[in-house]
Structure 1
Amino acid sequence: MPPRINIPPVTRILLIVLALQSVLSAAIRYRQWTAHSEIVIPYLNLIPQLSLVYPWTFVSTTLVESNIFTLSIACVTLYNGGRYLERAWSSREFAKFLLVSALIPNVLTFATMIVFFAFIRNERWTLTTIAGTIPLQISFLVAFSQLVPAHTVTLFRGLLSLRVPRFPLLYIGVVTFLCLTPILTSASFFLAVFGFLTSWTYLRFYKPVFPDLDTSQPSSLRGDASETFAFAEFFPGPVRPFVAGVSNQIFDALVAVRICTPFSAADHYTARGDGFGQRSAPGSARAEAERRRALALKALDQRLHAATAQSAQRSSGAGPSAAPSNPAPSASGPTVQTQPQIGGQKAMTSQPSGMLGETNYTPDGDGDKA
């Protein structure tokens, strides 16, 4: 009996809808094909001039591919990326992420096409088909950049090694090149850019963080304010300070017009100048749990030292001044300096100096940060 392929429910639905709609689109194009006209399907794809009467196309158009090359890439991407993210986040959160990553880039691209038509007065802008899984593909890359920021992918048998946060910009470059060929339309570039910005904004500020049951972390915590997920981290080292400065200015402007809300004091918000605001501790549940455990270990170690000193005083009968200056650690367990890290990633290391429990990210890149 052949092994059963285990595909989570939302990913399975995505693959089925993608296959059905792409085959339907190909069949309609085949039946209506002529050598002197360009075929558009306004009730399946998003066409700025024709699809306003079909509002569902703002979502359905994402799962329509127009050729076998892009369809193959889309199936591989949704199968592998969807299975990983849905199991990491739950089906409900994954479905919300897909809806945001598909709907908002389509709406923004639609509006961009209308603006270009208004200035250039070329009707071709409003007849361009906005379709394809490009927003979902780049949003998966952004999500992987959040989950495994220190992971390095080696390509071409070691000739090229790239960290995961480098892939979104590389993907935008590939899409830009393919837009110059018949494979992709001019709308694909805007879909890639808006998909990148939308998915990062959602994961950075709005996606709920799963609470850690071993800690008192509030279940209402949202977003990821860790330094490894700052907007500037997606860019090469030489341009990173410039991108960080521009992103901070944009964020301040959005806060001023009340489009965005800065992190409050209750969320440990501090402005650190490395991309759209930071919290004093990384915002992921795993990092927050490690910080709290380390602080608890420090408090326990101090109590053990105090108890050891008092026990030595009572056994020797001496006064408080006779207490040893360097009491031996308790035999009940190692001190906090020798405690192993708990649940932390390889990229996060505890610092013995200063406050115990602070976590610093030391990636392998250019400069002081990667």
Structure 2
Amino acid sequence: MATGQGTRPLANQVAKTVVDSAPVVKIVCVCLTVLYLVGLAPGVSVKNLAISAGTFLPQFKIWTALTAGFYEQHLVYVLLDFVALLSSSATLQPLWGGEEFIRFIVLVQVLTSIAVILVYFFIYVLIRKEAYLFTTFNGMGGLVAALAVAMKQVMPDQTIMPLPLIGLSLRMRHVPFSIVASAGILAAIGLLPVSAVVGVSEGLFFGWLYLRFYQRQGAGRENVRGDQSGAFAFATFFPEVLQPLVSPVLSTIYAVLVALRLCPKQPSIVDIDTFNSTNVHLLSADAQRQRELALKALNSRLKDTDEPEDWPSMDGDAEAGDADNAANVGHVEIDMSRAAESGSKPAASAS
């Protein structure tokens, strides 16, 4: 009885958080809940909601490319998905807007599901074991990893939790790799299927790929796509000790992907000093972009405070200043015209 009373406030808090969340988040939470309940219904097979190489095209179960990413078989995973979605959307949705946020979710979910079955199809082609052809994949692990990538991009140095035993802190830039490593450990001890690890890895990659090369930037930079900063290079997802080892390998893979036209080239700019075209990172643009993201995040949080009137609007002050300047200019023009008229009258009488 005491346990039920203790969990009731927590359930009420979760329900209140979902109700107060953005419409996009509510839609995703409803999809997770509905598909979880449908999976519990008698006569509903996992293969009707999850995706596999042997059923996607041969049996024309095209809808599983979308349902697989939102279908969880265990309630604990549904709750973990809720936490990841609600915590990340509080930061990302105000920065991106609802349309961009849902675009990111759908792209990552669909691409991850299709990529997983392609991996298992190629394994089947190589070793000719039919079990790989019908290995199912489902769950939102890929999207959770992609959302962690987006959070790393926005606030990489944000502390998640201190780790006093080793004298370090878990920061946001460590989270994507930690998710993949945790999924691998859980799969090794049998608590997760191997396909889930593949899905988490693919989700991390596709989330980074979209943010790195394809996402349109904010107002005034509509023609700029992606985040080309060195701090968002794929090697930075690995621990610092491993980065010098993996960087050459990743550079080779990137060159192959560019040759196959699966990834765009990094933009080239002209060095003003030498007038040579060099492939460099746009450091000033990256710094400006980080400042814009930080200001947007700060403004979105200030709007949620209880006393927003204590924080003056910079736009309002600028408009007021412009109005005062215009008024001052008007007074100067009037005074000058009056002086001109007064000066012209004596001249007329002298003639």
Pick aligned residue for 1:22 from 36, 52, 56: 36
Pick aligned residue for 1:126 from 123, 127, 133: 133
Task: Report the CA distance shift for 1:83/1:280 in structure 2 as closer, same or farther (over 3 A).
Answer: closer
Letter in 2 for 1:167: V
| Residues 282-319 of structure 1, C-alpha deviations (whole Å, 9 max, x = no match) | 436534779xxxxxxxxxxxxxxxxxxxxxxxxxxxxx
Number of residue-to-residue matches in the alignment = 271
Mapped pair 1:49 → 2:54:
yes
TM-score (norm 2): 0.70
Task: Report the secondary structure of 1:248's partner residue.
Answer: helix
Pick aligned residue for 2:210 from 202, 210, 230: 202
Gaps of 5+ in 1: 33-38, 212-216, 273-277, 291-370
Mapped pair 1:13 → 2:27:
yes
Contact 1:270/1:280, CA 8 A, preserved across alignment? no
Task: State the match for 2:303 in structure 1.
Answer: none
Contact 1:11/1:86, CA 8 A, preserved across alignment? no
Mapped pair 1:259 → 2:265:
no
Letter in 2 for 1:46: I
Task: State the match for 2:188 in structure 1.
Answer: 180
Task: Report the secondary structure of 1:281's partner residue.
Answer: helix
Gaps of 5+ in 2: 1-12, 272-276, 294-351
Letter in 2 for 1:240: Q
1:146 & 1:194 partners in 2: Cα distance? Answer: 18
If you compute each CA radius of gyration, which structure gives the higher value, 1 or 2? 2
Please identify which structure carries the higher helix content: 2
Task: State the match for 2:155 in structure 1.
Answer: 148
Q: CA deviation at 1:140?
A: 0.9
Task: State the match for 1:168 in structure 2.
Answer: 176
Task: Report the secondary structure of 2:106's partner residue.
Answer: helix
| Residues 22-52 of structure 1, C-alpha deviations (whole Å, 9 max, x = no match) | 111022xxx35xxxxxx84333211221232
Contact 1:109/1:194, CA 8 A, preserved across alignment? yes
Task: Report the CA distance shift for 1:170/1:64 in structure 2 as closer, same or farther (over 3 A).
Answer: same
Mapped pair 1:241 → 2:234:
no
Q: CA deviation at 1:145?
A: 0.6
1:124 & 1:209 partners in 2: Cα distance? Answer: 44
Task: State the match for 1:318 in structure 2.
Answer: none
Letter in 1 for 2:37: V
Task: Report the secondary structure of 2:170's partner residue.
Answer: strand
Letter in 2 for 1:150: D
Root-mean-square deviation (CA, aligned residues, Å) is 2.7
Question: Which sits farther off after the overlay, 3-12 or 141-150?
Answer: 3-12
| Residues 256-297 of structure 1, C-alpha deviations (whole Å, 9 max, x = no match) | 33333223345988535xxxxx3343436534779xxxxxxx
Task: Report the secondary structure of 2:54's partner residue.
Answer: coil
1:117 & 1:40 partners in 2: Cα distance? Answer: 23
Task: Report the secondary structure of 1:149's partner residue.
Answer: coil
Task: State the match for 2:224 in structure 1.
Answer: 221
Task: Report the CA distance shift for 1:88/1:125 in structure 2 as closer, same or farther (over 3 A).
Answer: same
1:281 & 1:245 partners in 2: Cα distance? Answer: 26
1:205 & 1:171 partners in 2: Cα distance? Answer: 23
TM-score (norm 1): 0.66
2:141 & 2:246 partners in 1: Cα distance? Answer: 24
Q: CA deviation at 1:102?
A: 0.8
Task: Report the CA distance shift for 1:118/1:265 in structure 2 as closer, same or farther (over 3 A).
Answer: closer
Task: Report the secondary structure of 2:157's partner residue.
Answer: coil
2:211 & 2:267 partners in 1: Cα distance? Answer: 18
Contact 1:43/1:51, CA 8 A, preserved across alignment? no
1:232 & 1:122 partners in 2: Cα distance? Answer: 34
| Residues 76-106 of structure 1, C-alpha deviations (whole Å, 9 max, x = no match) | 1122223332122101110111112111111
Task: State the match for 1:88 in structure 2.
Answer: 95
